[in-house]
């Protein structure tokens, strides 16, 4: 290959590189700005194929889709001066590329820092005029809408950014406050449990006392009934004995003497000194029992 061919090839390569360096493409999800020697010469460049001056011009692209930013947990005071730890996030997007670039230099981190500052101040102001109940449940949606509108108005005017939404992810009591609340709750539950135990013990004592009273009454009634039955039995036995005694006095006397003998002489070693002429011995001396 001769020198002319090499020079022609090099020239063609340079032309291709110049053409390629003068063409740029903006994606559908982005918008761009064109800088010439660092000066802004064209803004809000739409998606598509565009041309620039090689080396002299510089293109910056910015994502115009909705972006989200998690805010670090911050502590705010309610109107009752109660501290709350708040976790939130912001959804935002670039609305005016020209104003965005002029305000932030095209730095998303700078834009996020500016938005964060406005949201932080807005949350502090909104929490400061509401009670804990209102920010937790009662007026939470209203608070978010009001804050979004305020921050969005400022952000569009100053940074060319639209704040789409601001949401609170979590609202919690600070660690020390939470511990005190839990401790107070535990104390209240223990107190309530003790009240229930005391009521139960009082009720149990009443039930036991009533049971003891009923037991005493039942035993007394049973004893009285037993004594009455026993008395009736003794009376009936006495009547039977009396009838038997009246039917045959001699046999009854003989039967009673035999019982006395059996009781008296039940032991082998029993000794009794008695007059042989005593009435007690009459059936031993004379089986007929005659005197």
Per-10-residue mean pLDDT, the chain, length 291? 64 64 88 89 89 87 92 89 89 93 90 92 90 80 88 91 91 70 77 87 89 90 89 84 71 72 68 63 58 49
Q: Check residue 272 and give its pLDDT.
A: 64
In angstroms, the CA 121 to CA 151 distance is: 10
In angstroms, the CA 102 to CA 104 distance is: 6
101 three-state secondary structure: helix
Parallel, antiparallel, or unpaired: how do β-strands 23-26 and 67-77 relate?
Answer: unpaired
Q: Give the E-state strand segments of 137-233 in sequence order.
A: 161-172
In angstroms, the CA 68 to CA 253 distance is: 123
Q: Check residue 163 and give its pLDDT.
A: 94
Domains of the chain: 11-63 (no CATH), 67-172 (3.30.479.30), 253-291 (no CATH)
The DSSP 8-state label assigned to residue 275 in this structure reads: -
Q: Check residue 267 and give its pLDDT.
A: 67
- What strands, in cross-sheet order, belong to the sheet with 67-77? 67-77, 83-94, 161-172
Q: What is the DSSP string of 104-157?
A: HTT-HHHHHHHHHHHHHHHHHHHHHTS-HHIIIIITHHHHHHHHHHHHHHHHHH
Under a CB-based contact definition with an 8 Å cutoff, are residues 64 and 94 in contact?
A: yes
């Amino acid at each position: 290959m001769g020198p002319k061919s090499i020079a022609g090839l090099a020239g063609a390569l340079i032309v291709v590189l110049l053409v390629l360096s003068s063409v740029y493409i903006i994606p559908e999800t982005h918008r761009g700005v064109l800088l010439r020697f660092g000066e802004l010469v064209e803004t809000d460049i739409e998606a598509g194929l565009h041309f620039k001056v090689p080396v002299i011009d510089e293109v910056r692209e910015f994502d115009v889709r909705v972006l989200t930013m998690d805010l670090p947990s911050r502590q705010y005071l309610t109107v009752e001066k109660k501290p709350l730890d708040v976790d939130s996030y912001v959804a935002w997007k670039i609305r005016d590329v020209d104003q965005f670039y002029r305000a932030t230099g095209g730095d998303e981190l700078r834009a996020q820092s500016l938005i964060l500052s406005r949201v932080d101040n807005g949350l502090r102001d909104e929490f400061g005029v509401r009670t804990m109940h209102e920010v937790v449940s009662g007026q939470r949606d209203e608070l978010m809408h009001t804050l979004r509108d305020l921050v969005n108005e400022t952000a569009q005017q100053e940074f060319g950014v639209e704040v789409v939404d601001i949401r609170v992810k979590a609202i919690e009591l600070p660690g020390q406050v939470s511990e005190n609340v839990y401790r107070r709750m535990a104390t209240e539950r223990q107190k309530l449990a003790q009240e229930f135990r005391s009521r139960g013990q009082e009720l149990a004592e009443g039930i036991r006392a009533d049971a003891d009273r009923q037991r005493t009454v039942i035993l007394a009634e049973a004893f009285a009934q037993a004594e009455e039955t026993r008395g009736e039995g003794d009376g009936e036995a006495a009547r039977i004995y009396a009838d038997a005694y009246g039917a045959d006095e001699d046999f009854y006397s003989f039967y009673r003497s035999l019982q006395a003998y059996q009781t008296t002489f039940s032991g082998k070693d029993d000794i009794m000194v008695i007059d042989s002429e005593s009435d007690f011995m009459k059936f031993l001396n004379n089986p007929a029992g005659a005197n």
